[in-house]
Amino acid sequence: MSDDAAPATHFDVIVIGGGPAGYGAALYGSAAGLNIAVVEKDKVGGTCLHRGCIPAKELLETAHVYRTVSEASKFGIESSAPTIEFGTTMERKNTVVDTLFKGLSGLLKNRKVTVFAGTGTLRADRGVHVVGNDGETADITADAVILAAGSVPRSIPGFDVDGKVVLTSDEVFELTELPKKVAVIGGGAIGCEFASMLSDLGSEVTILEALPQILPGVDKDVVNTVLRSFKGRKLDVKTGVKVAGHSAGSSGTTVHVEGGDDLEVDAVVVSVGRRPLSDSLGLDGTGVTVTDRGFVEVDELCRTSVDGVWAVGDLIATPGLAHVGYAEAILVIKQLLGEEAIPVDYGKVAWCIYSKPEVAFVGLSEQAARDAGHDVVVAKHRWGGNSRALIVGDTEGVVKIIAEKREDGTGGQVLGVHMSGPWVTEQLGQAYLGVNWEATVDDIAHFIQPHPSLSETFGEAVLSLTGRSLNG
């Protein structure tokens, strides 16, 4: 059950769940000298490492390489048309995941974190009952318990997942060949990433989204750049539509669209969000409060209704992002160490979407800022004038900055930064700091952007809000 021959039965901290929030708490706490146990029924790393962030981004990078080779003639490099060996693609994905898994497992071992391979359920007085994957059981206790059981993909009526025709994100990563025609139900971040990747690799893709706009929460100007790119790559997007089940055929299926044309496809990817795995924790009768949607209720410090029991990550109703899980883990461990603990400001976390074009944002969109009563001034700068973007051959997208409007019409405090375009997920850092430190456009404009670099577009957009600019 455990990596240790004779594991202890009492710990400083027990973490149920070995995903980013769980192993983040274990690593951060063990670095401070805490004796920590992690109970994980699958593999440490959780959804993010094995069935989410990492494999998805690896496949998106494959799509990027394929696009690059396909367009090499624009750089004067002539080669035969590239073909995709999908088996090799999936092997590389597995290699990346396995390498990171082994590294994480080794790090936990070096930090002397005890890992129980099994399912943990909460008991009274911060006890945890463990049913090992090998059938053995153990009862362990701790001064504190952190619930971090994670989440699984949500399903929708009429689309029972069979792993062949109807898939969730879990099954996409187990494909052995690319489907020719795909319907992606859900146009959020995960849906758009899968749609972008599958389309670039050669599938004919249609996104079906019930809301009026894909990528909810993203500024409309940024969304429009994504839609233009998708349209240019013949990736169809249908918004404001509802699906009413499907009828499987001999090889594929027909998706029924309410009030619209049915869609014949080889595969359906259901991407309508994730649900928390609180039902696996045995919380009935423990005093821990769970909402109707399955989320564990916590306060701003991630404390549950039971003293000494915390909950973090996808298990609570906060942004389902690995880096948010890390932040919540650190927040909890700091409390256990008696250190100052600052609650996470969920309205100012970094969001990154790795579609083509990439999307990254922090803070309020223009509409959200206006709805909140702010008088704003906005700067929008395209990539066409950025020398680095022209050099790499990628000028899709926009950098948009939303700031408080001063009496003279210039910008004051930066409220939000929404971007799409080349490598914007790697450029969000300074925008994140600016929004979270409540910086003004004058504060940020003082700093120098290297030339030539993609970050110059952000710098130029900020500079323009001061009332003067170089190139804008």
pLDDT given for residue 470 in this prediction: 86
> pLDDT of 23-76, one tens digit each?
999 999 999 999 999 999 999 999 999 999 999 999 999 999 999 999 999 999
Cα–Cα distance, 57 to 468 (Å, whole number): 39
Give backbone dihedrals phi and psi of 283, rounded to 5 degrees, phi first.
-85, -15
**Which residues are registered as beta bridge partners of 289?**
none
pLDDT given for residue 11 in this prediction: 97
The pLDDT confidence band at residue 7, using thresholds 50, 70 and 90, is: low
Cα dihedral 463, 464, 469, 471, rounded to 10, equals 110
pLDDT given for residue 140 in this prediction: 96
- One fold for 10-53+88-153+275-347 and 166-272: yes
> pLDDT of 432-454, one tens digit each?
999 999 999 999 999 999 999 99
pLDDT given for residue 325 in this prediction: 98
Domain ranges of the chain: 10-53+88-153+275-347, 166-272, 357-464
> pLDDT of 250-279, one tens digit each?
889 999 999 889 999 999 999 999 999 999
> pLDDT of 198-213, one tens digit each?
999 999 999 999 999 9
Give the mean model confidence (pLDDT) for residues 375-401: 97
pLDDT given for residue 469 in this prediction: 86
DSSP 247-288: EE-SSSEEEEETTS--EEESEEEE-S-EEE-GGGS--TTTS-
> pLDDT of 303-346, one tens digit each?
999 999 999 999 999 999 999 999 999 999 999 999 999 999 99
* Paired sense of beta strands 166-167 and 236-239, if any: unpaired
First to last CA, the chain: 62
Q: H/E element holding 222?
A: helix 220-232
pLDDT given for residue 2 in this prediction: 65
CATH class of 357-464: alpha beta
> pLDDT of 163-192, one tens digit each?
999 999 999 999 999 999 999 999 999 999
Sheet (strand 236-239) strand order = 166-167, 267-270, 181-185, 204-209, 236-239
pLDDT given for residue 80 in this prediction: 87
CATH 1.10.580.10 fits 166-272, yes or no: no
10-53+88-153+275-347 topology per CATH: FAD/NAD(P)-binding domain (3.50.50)
The pLDDT confidence band at residue 124, using thresholds 50, 70 and 90, is: confident
Q: Locate the DSSP E strands across 29-87.
A: 36-40
The pLDDT confidence band at residue 79, using thresholds 50, 70 and 90, is: confident
Known catalytic residues are 451
